[in-house]
């Protein structure tokens, strides 16, 4: 058996998405910027996809801008949101994705902003009182807090953050790469200025995503070169990726409730089986299902001789997962997320992440293999 439990990194593409993309690849090759019939046909498909996505998210098509990835969307929101609005103070956490952290750090290094980090507890939960203090103590801030952490799964309260940002006239960017298509996002009610999506996290194609820019805020392009995306992103649109992304999101919304139940069931079952099978097992991040992304389970194993080889041995055993350990020194290339929440540097951690295609039999297989590895290296 070969088990894929690394869906937080990327998901297998849905066959219906592939079918939709293939049909367009075979018949539509015009440049969407061309005014002839071939170009107009391509443009129509892109705008239809934009309308589909906007309808699912309860927003206007004019607020959806297609990008090459979630990383590009994050960079656009952060760089343009800060520079175009002359923001001098930014707030984030030490467990954000590097698309956010490295962008913020680059802006700080360039002398454009002062960067503050919100306090977190040992499970990665945001200290909202500290967030409010930071908002009070500084002039208008740019706040970037992810909806769900990609390594440990802990969720932030988007409504609460949105209310705080509104109260202090802050700009709010939320990295929703891990939750878009897995949770309902009503952008007509949510008080966020920027949200992002990457198609390959929800059984869509790689190389495409989108940035939601609320109508209350205006920014200039990050990428210049053409009038595409209503003058907001130069470059010929990835028509096949855009159509695949829209189809994937459409499928995700139509099946969301049943998949939440199925995947949460797998996660809970794996937690129970690991606790029953391996003494000393722990879990990184929030374990309350209401506060944790249901697709991610981060497992902290007991100390073992083969800590550095655990992921390699899991791969040999037929299990694809990801993870590592907290950094034990400044020169270590470990998990910045686990380090930030104070996880033990001597105990290996593995992130198992699930999708609608995973099964209970795969969980049983994985738990049995993990137990074997732990017994061998005890």
Residues designated as active site: 327
Q: Is 276 exposed, middle or buried (0-12, 13-18, 19+ CB in 10 A)?
A: exposed
The closest of 369, 343, 347 to 302, measured between CA atoms, is 347
Where do runs of H (alpha helix) occur along the chain?
15-27, 37-56, 70-75, 81-84, 98-109, 128-137, 158-167, 228-231, 239-277, 310-316, 336-340, 360-376
State the sign of the Cα–Cα–Cα–Cα dihedral 184, 189, 190, 193: positive
Where do runs of H (alpha helix) occur along 110-202?
128-137, 158-167
Alpha carbons 298 and 106: distance in angstroms, whole number: 29
**Whole-Å CA distances, 329 to 77, 183, 209, 300:** 32, 37, 35, 19
Give the orientation angle of helix 15-27 with respect to helix 239-277, to 10 degrees. 160
Alpha carbons 197 and 143: distance in angstroms, whole number: 18
Q: Is 27 exposed, middle or buried (0-12, 13-18, 19+ CB in 10 A)?
A: exposed
The closest of 218, 243, 246 to 230, measured between CA atoms, is 218
End-to-end CA gap in the chain: 25
**Antiparallel, parallel or unpaired: β 141-144 and 322-324:** unpaired
């Amino acid at each position: 058996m070969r088990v894929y439990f690394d869906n937080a990194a990327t998901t297998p593409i849905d066959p219906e998405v592939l079918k939709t993309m293939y049909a367009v690849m075979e018949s539509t090759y015009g440049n969407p910027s061309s005014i002839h019939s071939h170009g107009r046909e391509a443009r129509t498909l892109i705008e239809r996809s934009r309308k589909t996505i906007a309808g699912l998210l309860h927003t206007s098509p004019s607020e959806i801008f297609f990008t090459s990835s979630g990383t590009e969307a994050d960079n656009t929101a952060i760089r343009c949101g800060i520079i175009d609005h002359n923001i001098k103070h930014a707030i984030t956490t030490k467990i954000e994705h590097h698309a956010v952290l490295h962008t913020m750090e680059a802006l700080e290094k360039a002398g454009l902003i002062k960067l503050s980090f919100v306090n977190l507890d040992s499970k990665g939960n945001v200290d909202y009182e500290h967030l409010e203090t930071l908002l009070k103590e500084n002039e208008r801030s740019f706040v970037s807090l992810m909806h769900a952490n990609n390594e440990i799964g802990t969720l932030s309260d988007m409504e609460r953050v949105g209310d705080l940002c509104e109260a202090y006239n802050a700009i709010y960017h939320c990295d929703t790469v891990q939750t878009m298509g897995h949770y309902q996002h009503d952008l007509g009610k949510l008080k966020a200025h920027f949200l992002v999506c990457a198609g390959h996290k929800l059984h869509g194609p790689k190389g495409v995503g989108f940035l939601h820019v609320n109508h209350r805020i205006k920014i200039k392009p990050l990428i210049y070169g053409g009038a595409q995306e209503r003058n907001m992103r130069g470059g010929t649109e990835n028509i096949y990726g855009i159509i695949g992304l829209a189809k994937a999101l459409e499928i995700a919304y139509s099946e969301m409730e049943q998949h939440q139940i199925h995947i949460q069931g797998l996660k809970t079952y794996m937690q129970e089986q690991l606790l029953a099978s391996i003494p000393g097992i722990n879990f990184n991040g929030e374990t309350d299902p209401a506060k944790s992304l249901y697709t991610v389970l981060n497992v902290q194993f007991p100390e073992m001789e083969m800590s550095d080889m655990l992921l390699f041995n899991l791969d040999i055993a037929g299990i694809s997962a990801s993870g590592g350990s907290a950094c034990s020194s400044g020169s270590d290339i470990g998990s910045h997320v686990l380090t930030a929440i104070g996880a033990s540097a001597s105990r290996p951690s593995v992130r198992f992440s699930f999708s609608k295609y995973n099964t209970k039999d795969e969980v049983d297989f994985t738990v049995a293999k993990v137990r074997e590895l732990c017994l061998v290296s005890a």
